[in-house]
Amino acid sequence: MSVVNDPQDLEQFETAVHLMQQNQLNEAKRLLVQLLEKNPANAAVQHKLAEIYLAIEQYDTALPYLLEAVQYDPNNAYYLYRLGYLMLKMGHIDQSIKSLTLATKIDPTLAEPYPLLGTLYQNQGKDQEALKCYLAKAEEVKIPEIFEAIGQLYQKQEQFSQAQTYYTKALELRPDMATAQASLASALVDQLLQECRYDPATAATVRSLCQQQANTPLVKRTLANLEGLEGNSASAIKYYREALELKPDDKAVRANLAITLLRSGHYQEGWPYLRWRQDLSSHDHGFISKTIAGVLAPQWQGEQKPGMTLLVTSEQGVGDQVLHVQHLVPLLKAGINIVLTCNVKLVSLFRRSFPEITVLPDNEPVPTDLQSRIDAQVFLLDVPYLVKLDLPNYQAPKHYIKAHPKLTQQFRQDMIKNNSQAQYHIGVAWQSSSGSSGAGKSIALQKLMSLLTVPNCHFVSIQYGEAVQEALDLETSLISVDTSFNPFDDLEKAAAQIAALDRVISVSNAAVHLAGALGIPTWVMTQHVPLWHWFEKREDSPWYSCVRLFRQPSHGDWESVIQQVCYELQQLTTD
């Protein structure tokens, strides 16, 4: 029974409830105990006694009363909700989730269990379940903390626009909610980074939102990311350091600090921090290929013992692997036997270029007979740090990638045959497909029309992916497209085609790294704040002596870059 029927008892029950509301708990408890002595099976009385003991945090005493209430009225969703709350207070998380879930099934309209259930799921890392629970009743309960939690979950999923919506809802309910202000600022910057763009108005909003929680790790990280986006590396480094003082184990901050240090020329400090990239679960930094390789050898510490066998496992994209494979050349000269796993599309190209290296695809285990001979293993991008690369004095190997000679010859013959009047055969690429950073590095081909009309030049598409269609839509007299192969999948032919060219003009993508490694004169058009390996304030590249960089003077200003490239090309072709 969950109600009090006797008029006199009902009056006493209502008096007890009123006393509870007035926080006169001892007198309310006395009246409820009297009622319970008359009718021990009354669930409503049991529940109210449990609430009194909950209020004074005597959870062990509250529990039997609440269990009795649920036993006598098992279909009362509110009692189950309160039991779930009590179980949470007592640290019994699984029982709490069980009771709360049952409450939502018995009465889906009861709002109270959903936010609590969402919090429990969020604490367990079950983000989708948490989001579902929060969203179920968020607009009904209108709790700022719930809107903020929804925003955090969307932000974690990199749905930054949705995150901003819910942070804003929280602030509409509580305008001075400092944590929501800081979270909104973080989501605004994350969206700018995701879209590879900069907006001064958004930047001003971010700085205003950060004022109330200026000395928190989140705000320090947000301001560091914003300063980095603006190209203010010194300020970004300052904020990253301050964030780490407040939260030393923030892996994302350590990784971002590494990138900023390296990009701004602080190499000796940047290399060690770069190793923190391996702790970021949002990206694959080599653990997949290492796991597939299946080798149990210890991690290499940089020792260079002639005759030792070192396994180097791949990570990141094709361009990264082409760039960083050059760091293995000094190890070969030191007498180290190298086993390298790489993207399957690079295997034949690397085998030709490095006959001394045992090159294996990174989607297959290392053969058992070879595993037993491996003394140590290392991620490809850790090699520069472990060999203590002195970048200011680094002498990069030249032409370290070798294209297929017959394929290269055939491509060259075809270019000359079909465009005999051209003085230069120039490869062009305008798009990058490298995840979230690709958009900021890319240009619409239509913006390169002034380049494609420079006289005495035959332009060849070395673009890969869906963007090739942009070239196919143009007149064939402007740019040639070889549709006999897919440069994204067939890197042997892609490399041979590039090797047959006189020059490459491209945004930062895999084609640029192939061209640089092949020793082809290459002009790279980079965004205002480029990837770290193009560094800052320099026109050359320490990785490729044949590369020249053309940088945006400000965010999104490709027009200035294209004008400069066109001018330089016209000078070249008229000399």
Radius of gyration of the chain (CA): 32
Name, in order, each residue with C-beta under 8 angstroms of 354's C-beta and a sequence gap of 6 or more. 325, 328, 332, 338, 340, 400
Alpha helices in 315-444 (DSSP H): 318-324, 329-333, 347-353, 368-371, 383-386, 405-418, 438-441
Contact 481, 405 (CB under 8 A): no
Query: CA angle, corner 362, sides to 316 and 300, nearest 5?
Result: 75
Whether the CB-CB separation of 233 and 535 falls below 8 Å is answered with: no
Which one-letter amino acid corresponds to residue 175? Answer: P
**d(Cα 42, Cα 2) in Å, to the nearest integer?**
6
Q: Please report the pLDDT score of residue 111 as a whole number.
A: 93
d(CA 539, CA 550): 7
Q: Report whether 223 contacts 204 (CB < 8 A).
A: no
Q: How far apart are CA 408 and CA 158, in angstroms?
A: 43
DSSP letter for 1, please.
-
| Spatial separation of the C-alpha atoms in residues 171 and 153, rounded to whole Å | 17
Tokens for 75? 């279909």
547 three-state secondary structure: strand
H or E stretch at 339: strand 337-342
Of 408, 374, 178, the residue nearest 295 (C-alpha): 374
Instruction: Give which of 253, 257, 207, 202 is closest to 233, Cα–Cα.
Output: 257
**DSSP notation for 144-208:** HHHHHHHHHHHHHTT-HHHHHHHHHHHHHH-TT-HHHHHHHHHHHHHHHHHHT---HHHHHHHHH
User: What's the rounded Cα separation, in Å, for the pair 537 and 440?
Assistant: 18
- Amino acid identity, position 159: Q
pLDDT recorded at residue 248 = 94
Question: Which pLDDT does position 476 carry in this prediction?
Answer: 74
Give the chain's length. 575
Give the pLDDT score at 7.
84
pLDDT for 434: 64
Question: What pLDDT was estimated at residue 195?
Answer: 87
Question: 265-302 burial, b if ≥16 CB within 10 A, otherwise e?
Answer: ebbeebbebbbbbbeeeeeebbeebbebbebebeebee
Per-residue pLDDT of the chain (575 residues; tens, 9 = 90+): 456 678 888 899 999 999 999 999 999 999 999 999 988 889 999 999 999 999 999 999 999 999 999 999 999 999 999 999 999 999 999 999 999 999 999 999 999 999 999 999 999 999 999 999 999 999 999 999 999 999 999 999 999 999 999 999 999 999 999 999 999 999 999 999 988 889 999 999 999 999 888 899 999 999 999 999 999 999 999 999 999 999 999 988 999 999 999 999 999 899 888 887 876 655 566 778 888 988 999 999 999 999 999 999 999 899 999 999 999 999 999 999 999 999 999 999 999 999 999 999 999 999 999 999 999 999 999 999 999 999 899 999 999 999 999 999 999 999 999 888 899 999 999 998 765 566 788 999 999 999 999 999 999 999 998 889 999 988 777 999 999 999 999 999 999 999 999 999 999 999 999 999 999 999 999 999 999 999 998 999 999 999 999 999 999 999 999 999 999 999 998 86
The token pair that represents 302 in the structure block: 């940089």
Specify whether the backbone of 57 is left (phi greater than 0), alpha (psi in -120 to 50) or beta: left
Per-residue pLDDT, 284: 60
Dist. CA 541–CA 545, nearest whole Å: 6
Supply 204's token pair: 């001003």
Question: What domains, with CATH codes, occur in the chain?
Answer: 7-192 (1.25.40.10), 215-279 (1.25.40.10), 287-389 (3.40.50), 405-574 (3.40.50.2000)
Q: How far is CA 70 from the centre of its chain?
A: 46
Quick one: pLDDT at residue 437? 63
Residue given tokens 């094709």 in the structure block: 318
Within its chain, how far is the Cα of 231 from the centroid?
A: 20
Residue 380 burial (C-beta neighbours within 10 Å; 0-12, 13-18, 19+):
buried
CA proximity to 538, closest of 548, 524, 527: 548
Q: How far apart are CA 126 and CA 517, in angstroms?
A: 45
